[in-house]
Structure 1
C-alpha cells in the first residue's frame, strides 16, 4: 500500500510532525511502482488543493464560535528519491539523475563497472581554488561554474518539449524513448496545475534520512570490504587505470592479479563484522553511526587523511540535522560539503560516487529554503 499523508504546518513545531496530527489523504493499493501513473491517483487530491487555494472551504472556529473561509497551500512534498522522480516527473536514473543539477549533471559511465558515477564537485569550489587546476581528480582541470538552480518558469520551458503522456500500461509494453530535448523529463507533473507551484523555490525535498543511510552503507561496505557492498573491487581498479589516476592503486599483474592496499586496509582486518550484519541495520542506526560513532570507530585504523575527511563528513551531517538554523553556519556548510566531496574524490574510486553521495551537495541550500530537516525528512512518516 502507498499512503499519501498530509502534515499541517500551522501547528506548533512540537506538534506538526506527530502521528496524531497526520491526515491520511490517499491510500493507493498495489505493491508495484506507480511511475507516471501516480498522477492518476493524485487527481482528486489536486482538485481539492485547487479548491482550497482559490475559493476555500467554510470552516467553524470553535474558539470564536464563528465560521470563516479556510484557505490552504501545499508547501512541498516529502518523499524518498524514487518517489521524487514519480512526483516531479524528472527521472532519477541515468546520466542526468540529479533533478537539481538538471541538464548540467556531471556524470561519467564507467567502462568496466558499467555504472554511472557523479563526480566533478570542484565546480562548487571558489573559482580561484588551487584544486580546480589539479589533475589528480579525474585527469583534467575544472573551469566550470556550479550549476544554476532552475526556477519554475525555466522548468516549464523545458517541459514544452515533452510529448503528451498517456497514462496506463502501453499495449506493446515498451517504454517510450525520450528525445534529446526532453532531457530526463518523463511527464509534466500534476502539481503544476496548482496556480502557485511554479513560484515555489522548493517543491520536492531530498530526503536526508534515506540519503544519509545510503552514504553510510556505502562507506561501511567499502571500509569493511564487504563482498557485494564494497565500491573497491577489480573493476573499480581497472577504471582507475583507464582514467590514468592514482597509479599506486592500479592492479598488480604477475602470476595472479593483486589489489594493492587502499581503502579498507587495516580497518577491515581489525573490525570483525559478520557478513549480513550491515544489511540488518536500520536507517536510524546509520544516522547514529555516521554522526556519532564513525570518527571514533575509524580512529587509528585508517590513514590520517581518510580519518580526517570522515570526521568532517560526520560533523557536516551533525550540524545539518541541528534543530536550529543559523545562516552563517549554512554558508559555511555549503563550502564544507564541497571540500569534503572533493577530498573523497581524491581517496575513493569513481564507483563510490553514486547519485546518493552527490546529492549531499544540495542539502545546505534546501535547509536555507525550507528550514530544519526535522520537518522535511521521512523519519516521522516511516515511524
Structure 2
C-alpha cells in the first residue's frame, strides 16, 4: 500500500539459530558463518525456489521521518516541542522532563535546530494467531515514536511507525541484539551524517538528524532490551543489586517487603549513566548469541550481577550520556496493579490471596490475623462478601461513561456468575478510578479505602 510513497520494507534473512543476520558484509553468504546452517530451506516437491528459514522485515526510519516534513501540516507540528505552551506543574509532553533538558544541555549543537528529531522506541511481543488450537507463536514488533509532535498526535496511529518485525516462535531473549543491528546502524547514520530533507513549512532544505532518547517496554521486555535480567533477587534495574530481594519459601517469588528503606537512598535512586554501566560490563565475558547458548550465563551471574548481554543501544554515539535509557510501560503497570488488587478483593480465580500466600505471611511473621488455621483460611477484611459483590455488579451495569472514555464495561460484568472478565488495559484504569470514587467507598472500611486511594 505504501510502496509507491517509497515507504516499503526490506527483507533481511536471518540464521534460524539466531546467530547472525545475512546483512551488510554477510548478505551474500549461503550458510551461517557460526553454525554453518544453510540460510534456505530444502526445496520441496522438486521445486527450485529457495525459501529462507527466517526473515526479518525492516522498515527504514529515514523516509518516514522525511515524510513528516514534506507535508506543510505535519511540518508545522514537528516544531511543537519548542513552541509549546508550558503549564506550570503539568507534565504533558516529554520536552518538559529532566532527561530531555539534560540531553539538550549535553548536545547544544543538536538542540540548536528545532527541526532535529527526538525519538522513543517501544518493543513488545504478541501472538498473531487468535485460534487457541494453532501452534503457539509470537511476533515482536519494534515501534518508533516521534516526540517532536504534540502529545495529542505522537501517540496516534498515523504517527506510530513499525520499524522491525522480529519473527520468533518464542521471545528472542538476549538474541534481540542480533535483530536490532540494521536499526542501530541507521540511528548512527542519522546522528552523525543526517539526510537532506525538504521542509514544506519554510520551503527550504535542511540536514535532518535524529536521536533516540529511550526505549519503552513491559518489565520482562525491559530485561531483554537493557541487558539486566528482571528475574530473581536482583531484579531492580535502578539499584542494580544494591538491594537484594528475599525469596518467598512457598510461592518461590522474589519479595522486596521490608527493604523499602534501601530505595530511599538518593545514591540508589539516581540512575547510573551509560558510561558507568558500560564499565560494569567491561570485565564480564558474555556467552555468544544464538539459541544453543540461550541457557548459558556469564560468570558471577546471580551473585554480583544479573547481566545477560550488553545492549546494542550502547553503540549509539550518545548512548553513554543517557540516564533514562529504558522506561517501563505505564499501561502494563496499570493493568497489572489493577488485576492484582481487584481480583484479590473480589476473590476471583486470579486472586493473589492464595493458601501459599497465607503460608508466606506466616513465614515472614506479619499479618497474624491471616495465618492459616490448619486447613481453614480466615476471611480477610478486604474480601467482598457475596452480597457486596452483587451490589458492585449491579452498579457496573448502571454505570454510564462519556464516549471514548472506555469500552462498554457492562459487557465485562457477568451478574449471574458474579464475575468480571475481558477488560482491556485502558478499561482497567477507568474502572479503578470509578470504583474508588463510588463503589469501594460504599463497600469497604475506611482504612482499606484509604490504602486503595493511595495506591
> Could you state the TM-score of these two structures normalised by the residue count of structure 2?
0.59
Deviates more, 1:147-156 or 1:199-208: 147-156
Does 2:162 align with 1:24? yes
Partner of 1:141: none
C-alpha distance in structure 2 between counterparts of 1:106 and 1:268, whole Å: 40
C-alpha distance in structure 2 between counterparts of 1:8 and 1:266, whole Å: 45
Q: Is the CA contact (8 Å cut-off) linking 2:191 and 2:211 kept in structure 1?
A: yes
Q: Which structure 2 residues correspond to residues 259-338 of structure 1 after superposition, within 5 A?
A: 259-267=377-385, 270-272=388-390, 277-313=419-455
Partner of 2:261: 123
Q: CA deviation at 1:214?
A: 0.3
- 3-state secondary structure, aligned to 1:93: coil
Does 2:189 align with 1:67? no
C-alpha distance in structure 2 between counterparts of 1:103 and 1:59, whole Å: 46
Q: Is the CA contact (8 Å cut-off) linking 2:287 and 2:298 kept in structure 1?
A: no
Partner of 2:297: 176
- 3-state secondary structure, aligned to 2:212: coil
Partner of 1:381: none
Does 2:335 align with 1:213? yes
C-alpha distance in structure 1 between counterparts of 2:263 and 2:196, whole Å: 52
Q: Aligned pair in 2 of structure 1 residues 8, 174: CA closer, same or farther (>3 Å)?
A: closer
Which is richer in helix? Answer: 1
Cα deviation, 1:61-82, whole Å, max 9, x if unaligned, reads: 3344432211110011122222
C-alpha distance in structure 1 between counterparts of 2:418 and 2:282, whole Å: 47
> Could you state the TM-score of these two structures normalised by the residue count of structure 1?
0.69
C-alpha distance in structure 2 between counterparts of 1:93 and 1:59, whole Å: 44
2:275 corresponds to which of 149, 153, 165? 153
Partner of 2:42: none
Q: Is the CA contact (8 Å cut-off) linking 2:275 and 2:320 kept in structure 1?
A: yes
Q: Is the CA contact (8 Å cut-off) linking 1:152 and 1:200 kept in structure 2?
A: yes
Does 2:231 align with 1:93? yes
Structure 2 segments unaligned to the other structure (5+ residues): 1-138, 394-413
Structure 1 segments unaligned to the other structure (5+ residues): 127-143, 314-383
Q: CA deviation at 1:35?
A: 0.7
Q: Is the CA contact (8 Å cut-off) linking 1:295 and 1:310 kept in structure 2?
A: no
C-alpha distance in structure 2 between counterparts of 1:16 and 1:72, whole Å: 16
Partner of 2:359: 238
Q: Is the CA contact (8 Å cut-off) linking 1:191 and 1:197 kept in structure 2?
A: yes
1:77 corresponds to which of 195, 206, 215? 215
Q: CA deviation at 1:289?
A: 1.6
- 3-state secondary structure, aligned to 1:7: strand
Which is richer in strand? Answer: 2
2:252 corresponds to which of 92, 111, 114? 114
Cα deviation, 1:266-302, whole Å, max 9, x if unaligned, reads: 4465204767944421101111122232342222433
C-alpha distance in structure 2 between counterparts of 1:77 and 1:156, whole Å: 17
Does 2:187 align with 1:49? yes
Partner of 2:376: 258
Q: CA deviation at 1:192?
A: 0.3
Q: Is the CA contact (8 Å cut-off) linking 1:158 and 1:182 kept in structure 2?
A: no
Q: CA deviation at 1:175?
A: 3.3
C-alpha distance in structure 2 between counterparts of 1:291 and 1:75, whole Å: 31
- 3-state secondary structure, aligned to 1:287: helix
Q: Aligned pair in 2 of structure 1 residues 162, 269: CA closer, same or farther (>3 Å)?
A: farther
Q: CA deviation at 1:13?
A: 3.0
Q: CA deviation at 1:33?
A: 0.1
Q: CA deviation at 1:91?
A: 1.0
Q: How many residues align?
A: 291
Partner of 2:307: 185
- 3-state secondary structure, aligned to 2:236: coil
Partner of 2:22: none
C-alpha distance in structure 1 between counterparts of 2:254 and 2:246, whole Å: 6
C-alpha distance in structure 2 between counterparts of 1:211 and 1:268, whole Å: 29
C-alpha distance in structure 1 between counterparts of 2:232 and 2:420, whole Å: 27
Q: Aligned pair in 2 of structure 1 residues 64, 208: CA closer, same or farther (>3 Å)?
A: closer
C-alpha distance in structure 1 between counterparts of 2:201 and 2:333, whole Å: 43
Q: Aligned pair in 2 of structure 1 residues 241, 22: CA closer, same or farther (>3 Å)?
A: closer
Cα deviation, 1:174-225, whole Å, max 9, x if unaligned, reads: 4336514651111110000011112112111111110110011001121111
Q: CA deviation at 1:109?
A: 0.8
